[in-house]
Amino acid sequence: MQADPVDVLTSVARLVAEAPTLREVVAGVAATLRVSIPFERLHMLRLDRADSFVLYIAGESGDVEVTKHLVGDPATQLDAGDESTRSRIVCTIRQGPRVHGALWLTSSQADVFCPAHQKLMDSVVDLLGLAFEHDAIIEREKLRRERIDSLRRLLQTMAGALDIRHVFDKVSEVVRGGLPHDMLVITSWGADGASFSVYAMAGATAEPDFFEPQVLTGDDLAQLRRDAYVVHDAEAEVPSATLRGKIFRRFGVRSALRVLMPLGTEVFGSLFFLARQTDRFSEDDIDFARRVADHLALALSHERLAEAARSQAESRETAARLEAQVATLTRELESRSGQRRVVGQSKQWKDVLAHAARVAHTETTVLLTGESGTGKEVVARFIHHASRRSQGPFVAINCAALPDQLLESELFGHERGAFTGAVSTKPGRIEQASNGVLFLDEVGEMAPTVQAKLLRVLEEREFMRLGSTRVLHADIRVIAATNRDLHAAMQRGEFREDLYYRLGVFEIALPPLRERLEDVLELADTFLADIGETVGRPAAGISREARDHLLTYEWPGNVRELRNAIERAVILADGGFIKSEHLPSTPRRAARNDDEGASTGSLPAGGVNLEDIERSLVVKALTQARHNKTRAAKLLGLTRAQLYSRIEKYGLTGTES
């Protein structure tokens, strides 16, 4: 008895949703359809890339055979060489306009399939389209990971090379994991804008004259001006009389992918991925190819620096940008040397790091607030290292350390002659931070005129250098920090409200060191180990009395003061143990006597409910602080942890933070 078509489709839908691989989907579909359709073999074809496909065949035994084939291969038999096939149902598997493959059933008997069978198969392939889409997502993720690994290994390959041509065969081998190709070629453009030469080539050999400059005319010159493009079939798309056509036919090239190789504001040349089969590349490959070109362009930057010093103004601008990037990367490497490690086990500090880790994987702007010396730049670097921009630069600027005009110039850059003393073009910190993070320390000290320009950068992602009319794109993530109360600054008209809400999309409040005393000794030991490597006679350790002293001190300067205090104590200890007399002498202020703060008024005869009074004070503080728990805790003279315990005690957990 045939199964109800609805039951069949339900079973297929369950397979599509639950089966982990297409092989298991095929096996399950074959077993399900045998109840309703008399067939002997089920065939499913899945298009892999433009030049290949995967074939799944389920026989009567239930086993599934999987094979991969090249499109157009005459040795491929879609019915696996079964010459006894006399009946067949074929359906195309598609998702919207996109064709994923095909599904067909075969039988050695004639006329065994009917319109009802065809109708059921049409419904089944609609569901299989979802399975193909799911498999395509998995394949895309696999390809993405392979490409990330290729780029990582590409950097390692080029790291020790003074001339990229010496390792270009290795470069091609590494990149092939992310984008298969037969040849990889870099061309460099002539200064006349109408010629090129082959700079490096892997995958083939040629006579020395092949690398000589060649003049371009007609269609070849027009192609030089194009952005990225793909050639699917060189014989059909590239005229044989053109220089490109001659080169392609000389090396048997049938498909190509070409992207530009930018170097600063100029274009060095082109990067070609070439293959001896048609349709090897697609538009989806362009983004990865551009990333490879960017990495290769960086490797060429040292050769260009010498030329830029002797070139005209545009070349000098390129040199300035490259030098700024080198300086930024140097500072980044120094910051990883252990001087700014993330140290601390207290709940308050772990909460800060948890919020930082959560926001790191996004592109959201972050505002770090807290007293001076609490570690805002440490957290900013933590976010940078954990983000997708970790391979890009981390550029920091202290907005309080520079006069208004100089801050604007440092931030946005300037053109030659923009103001007195501007003897050359200089890129700003925004340009230096391209593809990375711009850290604005003490952003609350920024002048209103600079605030307005920064707001445009955050909203439009574009800016202009001082003295320029050219609009530049800002590919940066902004992390800002301040020890000021920006709400009070807004009320005084000193800080723009619209800028605050742009910067404070995700605000993280850093607790002062006096609220995380359990971290003091760990931080002290860490600083002692770091400082001991830089002084002549490192201290033997910290005595018990000194440790007690560390825990009773207020630390108004927070972590920064603690580090400075340990450095001073190491010098004073002169190789011995650090004692209390080597440390800051002002102890924590003793708690006032209960009588000192008590009201002189008499209490009501019926007594008071202290819990009601405390609850009302907590509610009042939260309301006054606009439900910002850090500010509410300060108003009450409590730590955040103490405030949280009272919020939970009085059932105020619904209050927004």
CATH number, residue 78 = 3.30.450.40
Assigned domain for 458 exists: yes
CATH code assigned at 402: 3.40.50.300
Cα–Cα nearest to 507, from 476, 533, 536, 485 = 485
Assigned domain for 321 exists: no
The side-by-side arrangement of strands in the sheet containing 195-202 is 214-215, 195-202, 183-189, 266-275, 255-263, 229-231
Assigned domain for 563 exists: yes
Q: For residues 122 and 251, state if they share a domain.
A: no
Cβ atoms of 282 and 50 closer than 8 Å? yes
Q: For residues 370 and 503, state if they share a domain.
A: yes
Number of neighbours of residue 572 by Cβ within 10 angstroms: 14
Last residue of a domain, one of 582, 602, 637: 582
Mean model confidence pLDDT for the chain = 82
CA dist 536 and 387 (Å) reads 38
Cα–Cα nearest to 405, from 422, 387, 392, 430 = 422
Assigned domain for 196 exists: yes
DSSP state of 230: E
DSSP state of 650: T
Q: For residues 60 and 128, state if they share a domain.
A: yes
Q: For residues 12 and 89, state if they share a domain.
A: yes
Q: For residues 176 and 257, state if they share a domain.
A: yes
Assigned domain for 370 exists: yes
Assigned domain for 11 exists: yes
pLDDT band per the 50, 70, 90 thresholds, residue 27: very high
CATH code assigned at 556: 1.10.8.60
Cβ atoms of 472 and 456 closer than 8 Å? no
Poorest-pLDDT segment among 135-144, 561-570, 635-644: 135-144
Assigned domain for 482 exists: yes
Q: For residues 91 and 224, state if they share a domain.
A: no
- The pLDDT assigned to 305 comes to 57
pLDDT band per the 50, 70, 90 thresholds, residue 655: very low
Q: For residues 185 and 44, state if they share a domain.
A: no
Cα–Cα nearest to 441, from 510, 488, 364, 520 = 510
Whether the predicted pLDDT of 593 surpasses 70 = no
Whether the predicted pLDDT of 1 surpasses 70 = no
Average pLDDT, stretch 217-223? 84
Poorest-pLDDT segment among 149-158, 171-180, 572-581, 582-591: 582-591
Name the residue with higher pLDDT: 246 or 266: 246
Last residue of a domain, one of 466, 491, 509: 509
Cα–Cα nearest to 176, from 155, 151, 158 = 151
Q: For residues 186 and 288, state if they share a domain.
A: yes
pTM flag (> 0.75): no
- The pLDDT assigned to 341 comes to 63
Domain of 538? 514-582
Q: For residues 188 and 91, state if they share a domain.
A: no
Name the residue with higher pLDDT: 528 or 185: 185
pLDDT band per the 50, 70, 90 thresholds, residue 215: confident
Q: For residues 208 and 247, state if they share a domain.
A: yes
CATH code assigned at 643: 1.10.10
Average pLDDT, stretch 17-40? 89
Assigned domain for 328 exists: no
Cβ atoms of 612 and 650 closer than 8 Å? no
Q: For residues 364 and 288, state if they share a domain.
A: no
Quick one: which H or E segment has residue 70?
A: strand 64-70
DSSP-derived pairing of the beta strands 437-441 and 229-231: unpaired
Total domain count, the chain: 5
Q: For residues 286 and 176, state if they share a domain.
A: yes
Average pLDDT, stretch 380-385? 90
Cα–Cα nearest to 455, from 526, 503, 385 = 503
Cβ atoms of 138 and 48 closer than 8 Å? no
Whether the predicted pLDDT of 491 surpasses 70 = yes
